[in-house]
Structures are given as C-alpha cells and as structure tokens.
Amino acid sequence: MTNAIFDQSELVIFVGNSQPNKDDEAQSSKVYGAQFKETANRMLFDGWKLIGKHWNIDETEEHEEVILPDLLIPEEKLKPIDIRAYEIKERSPWRYGEGRFITTLEKYNIADASFIAEIQHFLIEKKAITIINGMIYPLELGKKIHYFLQMFAPWLVDIDFGTKFEQDLRLIRDGSKPKNELIEEYENLKNETIVKLGYNSEDKATNSWMLDKAKRIAAQKKITLPMGIESDKDKLMSFINLHKENIHTLGKCPSCKEGDIYKMEHGYKCNVASCSFILWNNGIQRFFKNFKKIIPEETLHKYIEIILKKGKCYIDKKPYTSTSKLF
C-alpha cells in the first residue's frame, strides 16, 4: 500500500433555526435543532499495489442518518450549531472468562481442579494477568511471554502436548511408564529451545539429542549426514545451525527500527523484548474489510510487509481527513 488517504470516521452536524430564541437557546435547539449524522467509509486516494491480479473494488460507502426537528417550516433556513467528529474505537482486548479457563483446563486434563486456583494466583502474582469482573485479561508481560514461547518453545503453549504430558505423569505414578522416557523427551525439547535461542547446551545428553535432531533434519531434507558427525559435538551443532528452521520475518519493526516482525497466532509482533509493537489479526482483517479489499491468503503477508515498510497503518486511529462536507 502506498500513501493511501482515507476517511473512516463518524461526523455529526447539529443545525438549528437561523434565528434561535436568544432567551432560551437550549430550548430553541431542542425545538428547532436538526441532526445530520454520517458514518463514512470513503477512500480519498487509493494507492494500493495490486499483486498478482485485479479486484473489483467499491471504493465509496456512505451511510447517512438525518434527524429532523419536530417543528420545521417550509423553506426555513438552518445554520450549523455544532460539528463533532468521532473516532471509531478499537475492539475489546484479549480476555478469557474464569469459568471457561477452568473448564478448558479440566476438559483437556491439563490441571487438577485443586491446582487451577494456584495457577491463577501465580500468574497474578507475577503480573502476567489481571482479573476484572470475572474476566482474565493478559497484561503486557503475559503477552510477551506468550509470543516468546510461541517463537522459541511452541511445545509449552501446545494444548495437546500439555494433555499428553499430564497423561504421561499419571502413567508414571501408576508404574505403567518409566520416568526416564519422559525426562529424556523433556530434556531434548529443552535443549532444542536452547539452540533456537542461539546458545550451546552443556547438558550431558547433548550429543544424543543433537544426533536425533540431525537425523530428523537429514530425513526431512533427504540428505546424508557428513562422515564422522555422529560423535563430534561441534560438527553436530554446525549441521543443525546450517539446516535450522528459518522463521519467516516480515521486515523491520516500524516502531523501534531494530527488531524484526514475526507472524504469531494472534497477530504480528516485534521480537525486541522492550518494544511493544503489535498488529492484531482482528485489526488487520477489519482494516482490509473496511475498504473493500479482498486479499487472498497467499498474498496477505506481502501486503503486511508493504504496510510495515511504509510504517503507516491506521488501525487504532482512523482520522477524518476531509476539510468540508456537504449535505
């Protein structure tokens, strides 16, 4: 998108009699006043880059609401009394009902009922969430932790993994499964996370999990492991880093100018911990919907890259840019 100028605001114009009752202006406005309310969705200048194909676009959509005064004389002149412009507000933030939170954990057997209250208390104590009127709201720290885990340790925010982990613990308590199997699986996942973060793991079992990881990479890419790599920790690390999974970035952060923007479950986030830049999916979808842009899934990321590169995406603030309006 390049330099698009648009009007996505609500304009209300109050008009009254050209000669209102000066002794009782409020009463006069009530009797003679008229209200013209218009919610506009007008693209003043398009400037979109169409990628791959052309879409038929209805660029102007207007809704007008007129409230006429009770007493209106034919050919009576009305003059503006007050003009008010209202911004369209952002939708409500993330939230989760306490009841739904409890039933979800119980449904997937992720936590015992007696332990759920402790989980909530722990998250509140760590300032990751807050509870208002029975609704759980994630705070800034909670959101950052969520995105960090999604990027570097997705298994920790995978509900199916949580269910399996709890089932394995029950099997271990019943004596149906050796605890070493679960410990080894956990250690492998932990060490993979360490490698994703760019560090070297000094765990005693490093060679074992690294060899398993290298074998999986080789099988997926249908390549052969280099000679002598099985017993060489440095060669294993080099092989994994060379073929490590690349997480697609959508460009530099337009806010801090330092971090990269990554696709997350609920939107697009800067990977710099101190930067709070986020584009929510619901805001982006509404942004395209408001201006009648039909964006195919295969080109959506390209549009996001263009928006981020320009550093302009009025989702929270939709200014009224026209200097005059005729009725």
pLDDT tens figures, 91-109? 445 667 777 777 877 777 7
Which pLDDT score is estimated for 49? 41
* Residues 200-254 pLDDT 10s: 655 545 567 677 778 877 877 778 888 777 777 778 777 877 776 555 677 778 7
> Other CB atoms closer than 10 Å to residue 67's CB: what's the count?
11
**Comparing 86 with 2, which gets the higher pLDDT?**
86
DSSP-assigned beta bridge partners for residue 130? 137
Confidence at residue 64, expressed as pLDDT on a 0 to 100 scale: 47
As a whole-number percent, the residues of the chain with pLDDT over 90 amount to 0
> How far is 219 from 233, CA to CA, in rounded Å?
19
State both tokens at 37: 């309310």
Q: Looking at residue 218, what is its pLDDT? A: 82
Which region among 73-87, 138-152, 179-193 has the lowest average model confidence (pLDDT)? Answer: 73-87
Question: What pLDDT score was predicted for residue 281?
Answer: 73
pLDDT above 60 for 118: yes
Please report how many Cα atoms fall inside a 13 Å half-sphere around the Cα of residue 201, on the Cβ side.
Answer: 22
* Mean pLDDT of the residues in the chain: 66
Q: Give the neighbor-by-neighbor strand order of the sheet with 267-270.
A: 249-252, 260-263, 267-270, 278-280
Question: Half-sphere exposure (CA, 13 Å, Cβ side) for 40?
Answer: 23
Question: Which of residues 190 and 317 earns the better pLDDT score?
Answer: 190
Measured distance CA(78)–CA(72) in Å, rounded? 10
11 pLDDT band, cuts 50/70/90, is low
| Backbone φ, ψ for residue 181 (5° rounding) | -65, -45
Residue 96 pLDDT? 74
pLDDT tens, position by position, 273-327: 667 777 777 767 666 666 556 666 666 777 777 667 665 444 433 333 433 333 2
Is 159:101 a contact under the CB 8 Å cutoff? no
179-196 vs 233-242: helix axis angle to the nearest 10? Answer: 60
- Predicted confidence (pLDDT) at residue 51 exceeds the cutoff of 50: no
In this prediction the pTM is 0.37
- Per-residue b or e along 87-126, where b marks 16 or more CB atoms closer than 10 Å to that residue's CB: eeeeeeeeeeeeeebbeebeeeebbeeeebeeeeeebeee
The residues that bridge with 252 in the sheet, in sequence order, are 260
Question: What's the 3-state SS for the chain?
Answer: CCCCEEECEEEEEEEEECCCCHHHHHHHHHHHCEEEEEEEEEEEECCCCCCCCCCCCCCEEEEEEEECCCCCCCCCCEEEEEEEEEECCCCCCCCEEHHHHHHHHHHCCCCCHHHHHHHHHHHHHCCCEEEECCEEEECHHHHHHHHHHHHHCHHHHCHHHHHHHHHHHHHHHCCCCCHHHHHHHHHHHHHHHHHHCCCCCCCCCHHHHHHHHHHHHHHHHCCCCCCCCCCCHHHHHHHHHHCCCCCCEEEECCCCCCCEEEECCCEEEECCCCCCCEEEHHHHHHHHHHCCCCCCHHHHHHHHHHHHHHCCCCCCCCCCCCCCCCC
Residue 126 has pLDDT above 80, yes or no: yes
Whether 14 shows a pLDDT value over 70: the answer reads no
What pLDDT score was predicted for residue 183? Answer: 85
